[in-house]
Amino acid sequence: MAREGKALKLLTRAELVIGRFERIPGLLAWRDDVLAFQGIGGHSVTIPPSRIQKIVTADRLGSGRLLMKLEVLRLTDTSGEELEFVVGRNSADAWRRLLGEWSVRERQEAAAADVVTKGRSS
């Protein structure tokens, strides 16, 4: 999960949802350059932050199943594909905080780039 020169921001236990009643246990990590899941048996998923379009946390899976003492972290990428990760409530709080801070920075950088672009076209 670690890469040279890339800071690990958050690492938690998680389960990747692959079906209504199927989940793969593993670790979910956020680095500067990628969100990565490493599951048991070598199953892995990576998403560059630039491809994350929507972030949702809830107590109910996309299939409608209600989670008790757990939460789902649902990410939608730019192609519309959804990934769901089941995490503990404390972990969900940490993910909400981290991803919220990240999304604010992304919006600020986009707004700053917009101002620079408009300034050049004037």
**Number of domains the chain is built from:** 1
Which range marks the domain in which residue 101 is found? 8-121
Q: Which residue has the tokens 């780039």?
A: 113
- The pLDDT-based confidence of 121 (bands split at 50, 70, 90) is low
Residue 32 in any domain: the answer is yes
* 93-96-97-98 Cα dihedral, nearest 10 degrees: 120
What angle is formed at CA 47 by the lines to CA 81 and CA 102, rounded to 5 degrees?
A: 105
Percentage above 90 pLDDT, the chain? 60
Tell me the CA distances in angstroms from 108 to 43, 78, 101, 117, one per residue in order: 34, 19, 11, 14
Mean pLDDT of the 39-46 span: 91
The pTM assigned to this predicted structure is 0.83
pLDDT of residue 119: 65
Distance in angstroms (rounded) separating the CA atoms of residues 106 and 109: 5
For residue 103, what is the enclosing H or E element? helix 89-121
- For the segment 40-54, the average pLDDT, to the nearest whole number, is 90
The token duo for 67 is 């989670």
Least confident stretch, 8-17, 77-86, 97-106: 97-106
What pLDDT digit, counting tens, does each position of 85-100 carry? 999 999 999 999 998 8
For residue 3, being part of any structural domain is answered with no
pLDDT, averaged across the chain: 88
The end-to-end CA distance of the chain, in Å, is 45
Look at residue 1 and tell me if it is in a domain: no
C-alpha span between 59 and 43 (Å, rounded): 24
Residue 109 lies in a domain: yes
Among 1-5, 26-30, 91-95, 114-118, the minimum mean pLDDT is found in: 1-5
Q: What's the average model confidence in pLDDT over 22-31? A: 95
CATH assignment of the domain containing 88: 2.30.29.30
